[in-house]
Amino acid sequence: MATWALQDAKARLSEVVRAAKKGPQRITLRGEEAAVVISPDEYRSLQKKSGKGKKRTFYEIWASAPKVPEFEPMPRTFEPMRKVDFD
């Protein structure tokens, strides 16, 4: 993976984008990794692998939520609603 300092990447952005078609391009800021530029094909591939980008049903979202062992839903009651006086 090629590495570019941010100031060089800004000055040569079109070159960075062309190089990303061949492989990921690392961009650093003050010597620390700050970003990675990848091709659209690689991005789509990563989205498919992670399962992101596809629409999920409510059940799929609910089923993937973290489980809380001590949580017990309250049982549903069928009692009539109480009357409220709005005067």
Reported as a single tens digit per residue, the pLDDT across 13-57 is 999 999 999 999 999 999 999 999 999 999 888 877 776 667 778
Q: 62 vs 53, which has greater pLDDT?
A: 62
pTM comes to 0.57
Q: Is the pLDDT of residue 9 over 70?
A: yes
Fold of 2-64: YefM-like fold (3.40.1620)
Q: In the chain, where are the structural domains located? A: 2-64
**Mean pLDDT, rounded, for 75-79:** 83
Place of tokens 């089923």: 63
